[in-house]
Amino acid sequence: RHPGWPARLGPLRVAAGLLEVRKPRLSDAAAWSRIRRRDRRHLEAWEPTTPGDWDANNAALAWPGQWSTLRALARRGMSLPFVVTVDGQVAGQVTVGNIVRGSLCSAWIGYWVGTHAVRGGVATAAAALVVDHCFFNAGLHRLEATVRPENAPSIRVLTKLGFREEGLFRRYLDVAGTWRDHLCFALTTEDVPSGLIAKLVADGRAARA
């Protein structure tokens, strides 16, 4: 077993409802697919390009493959993949990937939230739960979030959490069909000795439930 996996995080009360973070389930297929297919225009401009067709890649039939890949990576200690629920319904995902241990103890964090649940503090609170889990339970020291400079809502999420902008990575990631510049934001354990949930609660953005 790798530190920090499996895990169940929350609940937290946010504007959108009662938020929980848990491991992906095979039975998430229908809800996951319905949101991802409906929200193609909302998601595609910001996510890594995947070969093939959006509807096929996000069909309910595509979920078992994704789910088992995520589970295998988590079991090997390389990833911490989470599904976010609001009032018990799937709202999005938060994934910690490329976990490197040793003298780096670092990983990236990424997230998406469906249009039915945006602007209610979901991404911010879910990321805060996952960051605290990484720092306090999974033994990580640093988390990086890379975001396109055009992605104002995501930059706002990182700013609310207190991530520090550290630089611009040129032509960093293949997103929406071409190599896109990304801003790199980061946080280390020293930045948040009492954790991000404590900060969100103090800022009035979430309440422990």
DSSP run (H or E) holding 171:
strand 164-175
**CB of residue 1 to ligand ACO, shortest distance in Å:** 27
**CB of residue 145 to ligand ACO, shortest distance in Å:** 4
Q: Which of 32, 63, 82, 111 binds ligand ACO (CB under 6 A)?
A: 111
Classify residue 19 by burial, with Cβ atoms within 10 Å: 0-12, 13-18, 19+: buried
Q: Which of 13, 23, 37, 42 binds ligand ACO (CB under 6 A)?
A: 42
Dist. CA 78–CA 114, nearest whole Å: 26
**CB of residue 3 to ligand ACO, shortest distance in Å:** 23
Dist. CA 29–CA 74, nearest whole Å: 19
**CB of residue 78 to ligand ACO, shortest distance in Å:** 18
Q: Is 83 in the site for ligand ACO (CB under 6 A)?
A: no
CA 15 to chain centre: 18
Binding mask 140-179 for ligand ACO (x = CB under 6 A): -----x-x---xxxx-xx----------------------
Interstrand relation of 178-188 and 207-208 (parallel, antiparallel or unpaired): unpaired
Question: Is there a contact between 28 and 67 (Cβ–Cβ < 8 Å)?
Answer: yes
Q: Summarize as ranges the residues that interact with ligand ACO (CB under 6 A).
A: 42-43, 46, 110-113, 118-124, 145, 147, 151-154, 156-157
